[in-house]
Structure 1
């Protein structure tokens, strides 16, 4: 079998197979090119012509895997033990006060997840409660905080659920 025959039979299908996996045209083009280069260089290893399709797609899968393995070398590992600084929240009116005013079961979960940066499943283990319970507490705590920010400080939520606006808070003006 010749490289041209493999190209004629599989190039479109192979290109879209790769594109579907990596979802980036530039990366797809690189992987596609590398795949055909390997096909051409290793054509003598193809023993049975009827197995060509499986062989070609296995080479493509290996090239896709090589791409993702190379890419993962450059991803920094997140340090989950590092506490998240509350400085980014200091400009928000009454932030500390509202957190401290939460009922203890909600306050503790919010501090562990959002201030200390722990994962919800780790908090569930630490508190010896279910993950669903942790999620429910977070949801309730957020609802309480949103209500307090809306009532007291006149903040609003944008379409992404983030606080926007300026503080118009009587509590902050007295402190």
Structure 2
């Protein structure tokens, strides 16, 4: 596989994946460029061309993590309980706020599986709990988050219990 073929097949999808995670176009451009630079430099190490998509998205996730690790050095800690801090950081998505407010046992599961992109089995190993426990905590955390989205942002549920509709949130105005 060649870098040009990877670019042709994945550039748009990868760009929007990064943008969704970072929510900043300038930072997305930097991360996107760094990601493709690493892809180009290390493409010869890819042993199975069928796994190229997973491989490039893992590189992107690592670059996103590097970006946030660098940024966290310069950002003051945010106390979301403080009303003035909430006004100051209104651009922070409700999702981040809701995850922050989860009890630790649920917050860790969400961070490992949905933010870091680990498999449930890997999360179970890291947390030293059973896979069944991971699944139960994930389900409970998602239920808590759905309830918060429904109460705060006025989302509704479809027949399968998934959130639908547009946000009508008085906090984030999104």
Identify the TM-score tier after normalising by the shorter chain.
0.3 to 0.5
| TM-score (normalised: structure 2) | 0.48
Computing the radius of gyration from Cα coordinates, the structure with the larger value is: 1
| TM-score (normalised: structure 1) | 0.47
